[in-house]
Chains A and B, each alone.
Chain A
């Protein structure tokens, strides 16, 4: 029962977090994605507890919760016109009640019918998470955040407070957030292009494609990080697109929050996040102040995050202190770069980024293939064979590929560069990363194969928008 209360509580907390933006967000999205935001707030709470108080206990989390409440209360007082009178409260409360009942049912069902799956990585994440919840062991193990990523292990730390050995409902709760939150976002995005019935039909159909995929169902019970990455990246890119399309800063801010969450799911995630952030800045038609407002919070947060990791990751497998410091410096340089975009000439060069990003990455990949031909060809082949055969994806990537090829010549829609440049760049970067590690291999557990889970919601949203862009009949309000 503890897990039910925990996840429903997180979902309500996430819903409250979104309240200041009520004017801009549909009620369905606020309720169905609440669990994702709540999880992110919990992770932030634990990190702040550890780095400010040196420990994470119920007391420190409680204090931070009170602080959060005070800050949110202040924001709500300031933005009350965006909260009150937007639409009848019964709409929001109806969605909230319904979604929390559904989430509670999911959490109850998976405890009764536990289909959890684990590999050695899973046990490492559980071990790290539980260690962080004990003051005497937290700082002995915290360096392993540089190996496992932060989000999922920190969420698993709640098992100590809940008195269970591990969170059986974590992966299913993430699946709920992806299914409900991302699908509602997808439908809302489609409604900018077309009418409600077509948006619903396409949205539900694509959600069915995603959730009929064996690997997605598998990962909804597999204790690992890919699902969390998929949920947050999908929401981030969807929010960015809506921010561009509707010219609303609320969606841009939400996208940044989701991108930050995505960036702590895996150590390499910030590299992929930078792709979409760069495309947003260069092709989103943002003003200078909007660019600062979107980029600086993200880039400075990452600068601080990797700076902290550089002080604690002694002995980490991948993220050594030197690499963490280099990443921190890199993000700081990017932040300075954004500041310099006030310079008109630089602003002019930015327009080339969407056009050239994939090409540059392709050239880098080709150079890598020349330098390590066997290694890179083996990795590239493994990625393709996994996506279209061995990786448990079924027909999903085949369908998406055919849709992409057939829809290639269709007219472009506003903000399309986020997808048309972002998706190939993501894929090329995944393959390029093989240069720095052991080659990718066949079968589902390959790292690259799991990373493509992050891209799936983005690809699905892209196809939906591409094929509805000419239908017409869209609307632009949040009701």
Chain B
């Protein structure tokens, strides 16, 4: 064989490896590494970093595949190729194939529908999805544009003023999740999601939550030529990657089945395959973090309350137990009968976690008057404001240092007062 022919064959060999590596790299990058969400430089870097080792791997593997193919009859490997193509086609087009979620500008507009019934609309939370199946991540209040809506905590409220409009716009591959409150006072709302309109009636006999999930890609026709090329290429690379892997698996298994001695040559690919796995893991690390609400972040201190505040999945009323642990150890806590159930508090935890001496339920009025509540608020105390995981606002009054006694609880609307017994009239004292 002449030198030029062998050079040509070697070049052909590596080019085929590069082509296969590039296709699989594109599939990995778009499916696992949020390729579309990166900027152009990062996209290029990602492709180069993935294509290079994959191309080397394919070029090395191809020699072995050729040797195995040479041992099989043409009919056998044609059957394999046909099966791989058929299985891939079925998988992609019959089973629910997740079409690539490409980033585009997505707009949400929420308007109350003010009819004769009127009614308020309570949108308690908006969450974004990095991609359609991602874990929802809360949208901050500052990211939402409001006209005549009110903000309360993490949510938004309106009661049919003129021209009330809430809008949220971003470039993403996913969608949004809206948390509404249904109830007797609730009205209707119109949602405009990327130009698609829907009306939702939030009225109901009892107050419950209602979740509306808005996903979906913009229409194919609205995409630019670049995005059409990119998403088309993804479908193509998915097809060739899956079919190619299935075919290679078919050849390898048949080859290994026929010859045990051929196994040892795969040993050299063990460190290569594991190294590739490490590389992919490192490259997916940040992307996985960004797509999850639960992600590694440094806490400002080592307190349990801080741990709870930074948890997405909060233990209900934990701040109350922890406050009492650090400020009221050794005290007795008394609550009116039935209040624990209303507040979803566990009296046992006051002893076992908050380290109070005793918790007892007593027969005294649950409700505080407005005048008494106003008087109490003027005294120095700590406030645990209502938030996620803490449904009510707690006003916490302490004994002077070194003094032990009885702490009582009483309620005024959505506020709970925990104070020494002599400060709460119902429990035996004057504020």
Which A residues fall within an 8 A CB radius of B?
111, 113-120, 123-124, 126-127, 130-131, 134, 136-137, 140-141, 164-166, 168, 201-202, 205-206, 208-209, 212-214, 217-218, 221, 390, 392, 394-396, 398-399, 402-403, 405-407, 409-410, 442-445, 467, 470-471
Contact = CB atoms under 8 A, between A and B. Distances in A.
B281 A212 contact: yes
Interface in B248-300: 249, 252, 256-257, 260, 263-264, 266-267, 269-271, 273-278, 280-282, 284-285, 288-289, 292, 294, 296-299
B271 to A, nearest CB: 6
Interface SS of B by simple majority: helix
Given A126-B304, A165-B303, A212-B281, A392 B292 contact: yes
A114 B308 CA distance: 13
Contacts of B348: 140
Nearest to B259: A409
A444 B288 CA distance: 11
Interface residues of B, number: 52
Contact of A166 (B249, B275, B304): B304
Contacts, number: 134
Contacts of A398: 277
A127 B273 contact: no
Interface in B114-171: 133, 135
Nearest to A442: B133
A209 B274 contact: yes
B302 A168 contact: yes
20 contacts: A113-B298, A116-B299, A127-B349, A134-B355, A136-B351, A166-B302, A202-B271, A212-B278, A218-B296, A390-B133, A394-B277, A394-B285, A395-B276, A395-B280, A396-B277, A399-B274, A406-B266, A443-B135, A445-B313, A467-B270
Contacts of A392: 288, 292
**Which of B263, B307, B308 has the most CB atoms of chain A within a 10 A radius of its CB?**
B307
A365 B69 CA distance: 38
A205 to B, nearest CB: 5
B337 interface: no
Contacts of B351: 136-137, 140
Contact of A409 (B263, B277, B285, B299): B263
Interface of B: 32, 133, 135, 249, 252, 256-257, 260, 263-264, 266-267, 269-271, 273-278, 280-282, 284-285, 288-289, 292, 294, 296-299, 301-304, 307-308, 311-315, 318, 348-349, 351-353, 355
B252 A406 contact: yes
Given A130-B353, A201-B271, A209 B278 contact: yes
Which of A114, A134, A410, A471 has the most chain B CB atoms inside 10 A of its CB? A114
Nearest to A399: B277
Given A134-B355, A406-B252, A410-B263, A165 B281 contact: no
Contacts of A116: 299, 307
Given A202-B270, A396-B281, 15 more contacts: A115-B297, A120-B313, A120-B314, A124-B315, A209-B277, A209-B278, A213-B281, A214-B284, A221-B296, A392-B288, A395-B32, A395-B281, A399-B273, A443-B135, A445-B313
